[in-house]
Structure 1
Amino acid sequence: MATVKAMLRGAADSLLDLTIAPGFSRIGWGARKALGLLGPINVDLGGRTCVVTGANSGLGLEASRQLAALGADVVMVGRNPERLEQARASVEGSARSGASITTEVIDLSSLESVRAGAARLLASKPQIDVLVNNAGVLLDSRQASVDGIELTLATNVLGPFLLTELLIPALAAAALERRPARIINVSSGGMYSEAVKLDELQSERSKWSGSAVYARTKRMQVMLTEYWAGQLADQGIVVHAMHPGWADTPGVESSLPTFHKIVGKALRTPAEGADTITWLAAAEAPNRSSGGFWQDRAERPLNRRPGTASKAGDDRLLADDLRDLAASA
């Protein structure tokens, strides 16, 4: 009987995922919770260090809050010191006794800031158990970073790529003691709509569409997840990507005001959107695989639309291109 119930729950979950709008909205969250698929995360993260980027609002703030409530030592990363300190204070109020909440100011769109911030993190946190790459932007016009790189790519992909590569020694050190360490890349369901063109990473030749450029960077994050999963397996580091569904965050409200207005109350809360980040960071089940794309604690398909899938080896080519771009900027 238990097996039959599990199969029925799985079938209902898959059906929700196929419907897109209900599955990505608060309807899907509520249905999966009613099915018993989203129960409490009862894990002790005491003594574990979790680094969360984009932590001053939205999903990053809520993930920091949830991880701290499980006892983790959380390093909240953001580019605005004042807002970051306000966020830290709000998380500290709900943290479990013994958990430490600290901040690190890093502008992920600036390679100099990333390198300096990574050096400080390696000095202060020689072991990092979880890295959550959450920071991101969606822009309504083409802009350049301080390094002359298209700003969406710089913030959503190149900066997190460089930060992750620089922090691998600390992740590997944690894995030696408490195998495995984990990297979690916060992507978006929007990535299903776009393909990545390796010769057009900076969107220089096509007409600007902020949502399309954003979606392509989110697919790049999934490609990097696959790349790192292969590269880091022998170091005891598990890598997963996830998407939060449609969550009511400040970023969505400011970048997609029409979408935010139309969907309205059907949007998930930031806490609901961040749940799978916390689950991937804390639960045992994600340790059994690497390179997956998750939503609501279940692995989801990488492709839904014809012509958007990457080819074999593209993940490595993307990593090589980003490495070259970081070195030359």
Structure 2
Amino acid sequence: MADTWNVQGKTVVVTGATSGIGRETALALSGMGANVVLAVRNQAAGQETAAIIRRVHPGANVEVGPKLELAQPSSIRSFAKEFQKQKRPLHVLVNNAGANYMSDGLSEEGVPLLTQVNYLGPYMLTRLLEGSLAASAPSRVINVSSVTHRYGLIDNAASFLSRSATAVGGQYPATKLGNVLFTYELQRRLGHMGVQACAVDPGAVSTNIYKDSRLFMRQPLKWLIENLYAPPRDGAAAVVHAATQPWQRQPRRRGLLSKQGSGPLLNQRSNSDTWFFARGTFAWPAITGFKGQQEGIVGSLRMQAWAIRALSLSALDWPLRRLTRGKYLSVTKAVPSAPASYDQDLAAALWDLSADRCKLPREVSV
């Protein structure tokens, strides 16, 4: 990547921008001079968000794009078609929109709705816009993942995208692992064209994603989320960093993973860089060093120990940053993602099968 990166005057699309991390990301990037397109399903809420941004940043270049409903492949196609009709550049695509605790159901293509919204929808949108991204290079795709991807499991691509498969460890973590696998495969396939891809863990953030959870809306977890988790503005910091800062390269050592927190991670087989950003305690080795779920009693005990450690650190992250007024735990770093996210065979198979489900060519079309 270039030594400098400035979003001023560049076109940025942010999905899920009517609340939470998406709204704060759009607000921050508008304040930096970007031409921001809000890709949302609720157009009225999108107009309200645009009005808020203009009040905070008078003269901001922000607009509500065509309706985008990630649960409906036809809506994704319509959004991409209308965007490309305008023949405008696309320098940054922020795939932020996501969900959890959705009711059972299938998309138009027969994919479980949560998998469709969190994984296949962003995949399809990115693929349909890959021509605009390549033509605008250098450009970036930023996929918002989660710390939960570290215990997500995907046995194989077909089961992940099928109704019959409820991923071990939970469907939501599996979709977030899918985000990272897609990110790295995107980097391998489009990186040489100047389209750079990264995944981001925004940390523990108090957003609407918990509102439909029976577990997290009960005490004491509800109190923890409302009082100890970061507000969306703080949670957006890692996403904004990925969109606006140069991705510094550091000396790398041979092997799959570089030194934690020091720079990009070397992909052994393709020699391409893979990027995963995290901030505060979520960039600590205590979190990033987890090897993923393992079989047996020992594996179960390790999983439980990591879960307790992760929950404890998530409750300390924002309070410590707030108490020190940002002097502590504010740095965003490139860190190792889950070991499972570096499975190139699985990533390639998932890419190809996703293309088939979306009725798209397996090979990039630029």
2:217 matched to 1:257? yes
Paired residue type of 2:344: A
2:333 alignment counterpart = 298
TM-score calculated relative to the size of structure 2: 0.71
Cα distance in structure 2, aligned partners of 1:173 and 1:138: 34
How do 1:166-177 and structure 2 match up within 5 A? Answer: 166-175=128-137
2:189 matched to 1:231? yes
Cα distance in structure 2, aligned partners of 1:55 and 1:125: 22
Cα distance in structure 2, aligned partners of 1:164 and 1:309: 19
Cα distance in structure 2, aligned partners of 1:197 and 1:286: 34
Paired residue type of 2:334: E
Shift of 1:141: 3.5
The RMSD of aligned alpha carbons is 2.4
Shift of 1:140: 4.8
**Quick check: 1:71–1:96 contact (8 Å CA) kept in 2?**
no
- 3-state SS in 2 of match to 1:84: helix
Deviations 1:108-159 (A, max 9, x none): 1111110110011112253100000011111254222244321011111111
Shift of 1:43: 7.4
Shift of 1:263: 3.7
Cα distance in structure 2, aligned partners of 1:274 and 1:169: 27
Deviations 1:235-292 (A, max 9, x none): 1011000011110111223344244433431101101111111111111236895431
1:204 alignment counterpart = 163
How many positions carry a matched residue from both structures? 279
Paired residue type of 1:204: R
Cα distance in structure 1, aligned partners of 2:160 and 2:52: 37
Cα distance in structure 2, aligned partners of 1:169 and 1:163: 11
Paired residue type of 1:298: K
**Quick check: 1:56–1:83 contact (8 Å CA) kept in 2?**
yes
2:172 matched to 1:214? yes
- 3-state SS in 2 of match to 1:313: helix
TM-score calculated relative to the size of structure 1: 0.78
1:26 alignment counterpart = none
**Quick check: 2:111–2:163 contact (8 Å CA) kept in 1?**
no
Segments of structure 1 that go 5 or more residues without pairing to the other structure are 1-41
Paired residue type of 1:200: S
Cα distance in structure 1, aligned partners of 2:76 and 2:166: 30
Identity level (%): 27
**Quick check: 1:50–1:73 contact (8 Å CA) kept in 2?**
yes
Segments of structure 2 that go 5 or more residues without pairing to the other structure are 251-263, 265-272, 280-331, 361-366
**Quick check: 2:14–2:95 contact (8 Å CA) kept in 1?**
yes
Cα distance in structure 2, aligned partners of 1:299 and 1:244: 12
Bigger helix fraction: 1
Cα distance in structure 2, aligned partners of 1:322 and 1:260: 36
Cα distance in structure 1, aligned partners of 2:5 and 2:353: 38
Which moves more between the two structures, 121-130 or 274-283? 121-130
Deviations 1:38-57 (A, max 9, x none): xxxx9753210000001111
2:43 matched to 1:81? yes
**Quick check: 2:146–2:202 contact (8 Å CA) kept in 1?**
yes
How do 1:261-300 and structure 2 match up within 5 A? Answer: 261-285=223-247, 290-296=273-279, 297-300=332-335
Which moves more between the two structures, 89-98 or 192-201? 89-98
Paired residue type of 2:197: V
2:90 alignment counterpart = 128
Shift of 1:69: 0.6
2:93 matched to 1:58? no
Paired residue type of 2:338: N
- 3-state SS in 1 of match to 2:89: coil
**Quick check: 1:280–1:286 contact (8 Å CA) kept in 2?**
no
Shift of 1:174: 1.2
Cα distance in structure 1, aligned partners of 2:34 and 2:133: 15
2:143 matched to 1:185? yes
